[in-house]
A and B are shown apart, each in its own frame.
Chain A
């Protein structure tokens, strides 16, 4: 019946929408132009605007009039909607509705250069794509979306980093594309996802994507001035689409910030899809001024009934479950404009449940409605068509049984373009409820639920076996007998009335007698009592009245985060053994006064002058450890391996301030790390030099006025020795030299071309130019002496000093040359035998380099080793007999020198940053442990606080586990426990 109704409607719709100038061979041209009216409904025309007893008049899919006292033409088809509510249909601002993804036609394998001609050099920039070319209306999905309340959807092909334009489609299963396409080429789209249509390697990393996005925009600018000698359809499209709203699918909060920052660089303000965890960095999200399209993909509770499985779930994931549903409310509170999307949900049907959770946390109905209607309509530039119910707008609205977002409210109909799509027949009487009748002195209770699909029948207090069938307005209930031994059945047949205050019918008793009866509808409370008596654990989940607590939020919001951001304090360390790293050497019974983040005084018997006094008797105070070579705290890949030179990428773009390894390093006395690019290519990416300010944001961790660094690499990694068949140049050490020759030559030419009319700004070449000018230092991954000598010679040919060789395991063979050139060495204490090029690595390497005047450091390249670099330094005493003082400098002052930050850190000297570590013993002792690690006067690790936090973590896990079990018992959906882990990077890690 429903189907028939639909197809009838469809037929009318098609005829009514056919264009006048189209020939018509199906019928005569008599086309009904009747208006339709829906009357007597409560209409919410826009969030916060309600009219009672109002009507909508529509024609040709548009609203002709709307109001409480409108004139309805006599020939209008009138639909009385008394008792219902009408809302604007929702607008889905994001998704890939009706998009057919093209297949990847290229064969597998490594591909470094572009696979297309006449387009941009990178296949992942597909700005020339237009959604309409991949579009085919998907009535099945449309039906699901309409059932969830949607009337229109913005869609585009989700493929590529630049994805081209989108389109706006009305979800009108009764119409056709001649009317459904509301807007074409609406919005230009970008993302952090590579295209599936190509195997081109670049970019393999998040930082590569950011660089690619920047460069393609710079190139588009240049192209628009007509300097290109070749045709580039991608850049042309990028330019042509500039005037459209620019959308960016970013993901989590950090990526929202990254996308926005990249947008700032290229002069674009994006509408950003993502930020489900925005509440953790609200101020920063707010500062972007970006509007958000917000997913509601809140995690279900983890099923932690099995404690062994609970063990694997991180506290941060548990918090996420508890806190993320507050995100929409908090965004509203912060005054951030956002639309809500179903993108990321398994099905649009989950929307209602997710909204409900968000509302439990305080999101108001009005805010939710706006985020589903007016805001997305405006974002899409479709506010003249969609979002509210006003004269002249598209007749997209939903008819509901009650107020929207209430638990019992049903959507009856979703009218799209004036065409009705039935979700639930509102003319059908709702039979659900509890009915009571007296018969032969017995009280019978019928509890009908689930749209008359379930029934519980009781004879007095005895529950009877029962079954229900509904046929139109007729109900048939079959029940067993009170006495289980009695095998007969009683049949009740009854008819529903529109008033639905009672049901009247006839009962056929098991013994053959017949009786008329009337059962009156009673209070619904009965049902709950019964349920509880049945011993069913599943309580109704609508009992929550109080707003749920958010629970602990810490900086960062993971285990061992701080309740408050650590702040600088004035501290006097009293009576410590101070390792100054200065001429004074290691001095006993000495005080160090810290004020305003700096070391104010070093001496004996200093007065505190209001500073907190820490008794350091019997303890050792040192400057913080500096790890010259680290890969912790990086998001989205440590290697941009797609090209043999990637000087355009920078780790500063992808610092992850929430990596637990930051905290672990602090517990090992580390205060500064150079986060290096990996070693997949001869010219790698730029570094981030950070202070490990756990609880601070990435930009606050990166050194202010940071010295500029870039990673170079030589040897097995860059020549892809472990690949079966490498195809990327270079494949030999001979080739590696030529990569440098090539880039430095081009860098010189680039510099010469500055100021010319057709100068093309190139971020990669800008970086090369900085190296040539000595403005950017190089840390070069290297192993064997031949390549080390080559690199120094190349640098000398191009007039710069190779600042640091890292790994440098054969540095001992060429230490004299390094000293002469002015290169430093940052090496492992004792690693070797892991690949062929480290065959000659010896643990005496550090000592020998040092003996020849090379500034020598020990570094980690490893999240495990970085937290006990003090032990590694001690190995310089074992292997090579360094004094303890000199060995200690291997992990403090010397790396500070190599990083050109020794004016700020690296020793305990008045005026330097108060980056200090208090140890329970000589820091080189195998049992030494940091007690306090301080950066710029703020305590970031305190062993006593750590002990307290351990207890807190345990307690909070227990509490959240209890809450999740409670949620499960309430019948809420749960998911299997899982552990999100961060990939541990080293130089060789390549992932895409």
Chain B
């Protein structure tokens, strides 16, 4: 990046990070003041507006050039703790200090100081089990890369199809969702997911943890009978036992293959099972229904995979939450904003489901797979917010999108909470980031990089507000 480009990007960032409550006119005024303070930048103002009208892609941020100190904000650590009057220092991409500003003695700042009084600071939210960047537009088949053909696809890797420049991905950041697990779909074994941060030039830059686990879609014990358009009721599936058996056979092959140090022929599918079988990557099992979940737990136990098992969805598991907890198996709890799975169920079951699991001692993170799932990932904070309305400490609800998913996805060494030594991946919000009204970000950092909170959507907003202002 040339220096000039860098300056443009910084300027743009300053503009786009402005609070949208201030009027356009005021915004221009403030910009002018800044410019007059730094006359040599004036030339870039023109290019800035050109850039806006051309809907420029947001530029991934450069590495921080100086330490940053965030003062006096309420820090929600993501591990259940809160520091009301905090100081956070970022240096070299890491959090070098997090403390109560009213107690700690601070040295004179060496870099930028951000006053976060009255504001709230959160670790970057982590969206598990998403297909972000794998599909751009649901109904446009050509933009769809989420589901490979074949039944057992442990060798399929989502990361290489992840579009770091997706327009959908960029809309995550202004809501505080800064990390995501990118997961393939379909088949009995969909393939391997990877974890990315969402401000990158390409998938290689984006990857935080590659190939963190394989995803198994557990057979359905109940399924809809009949064929379209004459669909029947949901009835017990005749194929359930057979399908479970097929999965077992496949794993058996994997085990046999793994035990042979010098296989005659290299088998790509079996190779890709190795890390799961030796416990270094996770086995995510997408499953719902009490009985099926119990079957999965038994299956994992029989295959010595309990320690790296993660249940995904797990609706219906509320009645056996203590069993899940006792097995030490974490859950990526299915959509909070969903309908109850049957007529007789409590209307608020999906809202309170994660809390019911957490109460029993299950490690819970939230996920939102389902129809129109990608653009909705930006509502992840509000899923946690909804859960927080069900008699659970709001910081615990927050953990379901911060430290818990970090632990489950195996990235908690660097991400998921505001702790000294961890990556400086965090953001500053006007208020409670789990509430729609107050989830308003002024600054966000990924690995210490001061990222853009602009989006093409904001550009369009400004473009048309400009249009109407011209008419006034």
In whole angstroms, what is the CA distance A927 to B432 when docked? 12
Q: Check: A978 CB closer than 8 A to any chain B CB.
A: yes
Q: Check: A451 CB closer than 8 A to any chain B CB.
A: no
Q: Check: B389 CB closer than 8 A to any chain A CB.
A: yes
B221 closest partner in A (C-beta): A308
Q: CB distance A977 to B20 under 8 Å?
A: no
| Interface segment out of the listed B187-195, B202-210, B375-383, B398-406 | B375-383
Q: CB distance B138 to A864 under 8 Å?
A: no
A953 closest partner in B (C-beta): B344
Contacts of A836 in B (CB 8 A): 137, 139-140
In whole angstroms, what is the CA distance A976 to B20 when docked? 58
When A834-B138, A874-B436, A878-B437 are in contact, do A864 and B388 touch as well, CB less than 8 Å? no
A311 closest partner in B (C-beta): B290
- A309-B222, A314-B343, A878-B436 are known; give 18 further A-B pairs, CB within 8 A: A308-B221, A309-B236, A312-B222, A315-B343, A812-B464, A833-B136, A835-B137, A840-B460, A844-B460, A851-B465, A851-B468, A852-B468, A871-B386, A874-B436, A877-B436, A925-B437, A927-B388, A976-B236
Q: CB distance B347 to A978 under 8 Å?
A: no
Q: Check: B423 CB closer than 8 A to any chain A CB.
A: no
Q: CB distance A831 to B382 under 8 Å?
A: no
Q: CB distance A832 to B437 under 8 Å?
A: no
When A308-B291, A835-B140, A925-B435 are in contact, do A842 and B236 touch as well, CB less than 8 Å? no
In whole angstroms, what is the CA distance A929 to B290 when docked? 28
Within 8 A of A (CB), among B214-253: 221-222, 224-225, 229, 232-236
B357 CB, min distance to chain A CBs, angstroms: 18
When A874-B436, A927-B388 are in contact, do A981 and B233 touch as well, CB less than 8 Å? yes
A880 CB, min distance to chain B CBs, angstroms: 7
Within 8 A of A (CB), among B318-351: 337-340, 342-344, 346-348
15 A/B residue pairs, CB under 8 Å, sorted by A = A308-B289, A315-B344, A664-B340, A830-B378, A833-B137, A835-B138, A839-B137, A842-B458, A868-B337, A875-B436, A877-B436, A878-B438, A925-B435, A979-B342, A981-B234
Of the candidates A314, A843, A867, A871, which one forms a contact with B344 in the assembled complex, judged by CB atoms under 8 Å apart? Answer: A314
Chain B 359-392 interface 0/1 with A at a Cβ cutoff of 8 Å (1 = within): 0000000000000101100110010011011000
Q: Secondary structure of the B side of the interface?
A: loop
Q: Point out which of B337, B347, B439 has the most chain A C-beta atoms below 10 A from its C-beta.
A: B347
A716 CB, min distance to chain B CBs, angstroms: 7
Q: Check: A731 CB closer than 8 A to any chain B CB.
A: no
In whole angstroms, what is the CA distance A927 to B316 when docked? 23
In whole angstroms, what is the CA distance A946 to B346 when docked? 9
Contacts of B346 in A (CB 8 A): 950
Contacts of B221 in A (CB 8 A): 308
A929 CB, min distance to chain B CBs, angstroms: 6
In whole angstroms, what is the CA distance A558 to B375 when docked? 35
B389 closest partner in A (C-beta): A927
Q: CB distance A312 to B342 under 8 Å?
A: yes
A991 CB, min distance to chain B CBs, angstroms: 6
B42 CB, min distance to chain A CBs, angstroms: 29
A880 closest partner in B (C-beta): B20
In whole angstroms, what is the CA distance A979 to B375 when docked? 31
B171 CB, min distance to chain A CBs, angstroms: 8
Q: CB distance A926 to B382 under 8 Å?
A: yes
B186 CB, min distance to chain A CBs, angstroms: 19
Contacts of A816 in B (CB 8 A): 468, 471
Within 8 A of B (CB), among A792-842: 812-813, 815-816, 830-836, 839-840, 842
- Chain A residues with CB under 8 Å of chain B are 308-309, 311-312, 314-316, 558-560, 660-661, 663-664, 667, 716, 721-722, 812-813, 815-816, 830-836, 839-840, 842-844, 848, 851-852, 863-865, 867-868, 871, 874-875, 877-878, 880-881, 884, 924-929, 946, 950, 953, 957, 976-981, 984, 991-992
A748 CB, min distance to chain B CBs, angstroms: 35
Q: CB distance A979 to B437 under 8 Å?
A: no
Within 8 A of A (CB), among B126-171: 136-140, 167-168
Q: Point out which of B225, B343, B460 has the most chain A C-beta atoms below 10 A from its C-beta.
A: B343
A718 CB, min distance to chain B CBs, angstroms: 14
In whole angstroms, what is the CA distance A812 to B468 when docked? 10
Contacts of A843 in B (CB 8 A): 457
Chain B 425-444 interface 0/1 with A at a Cβ cutoff of 8 Å (1 = within): 00000001011111110000
What are the nearest 5 A-B pairs in CB distance? A927-B389, A926-B385, A835-B139, A874-B436, A308-B291
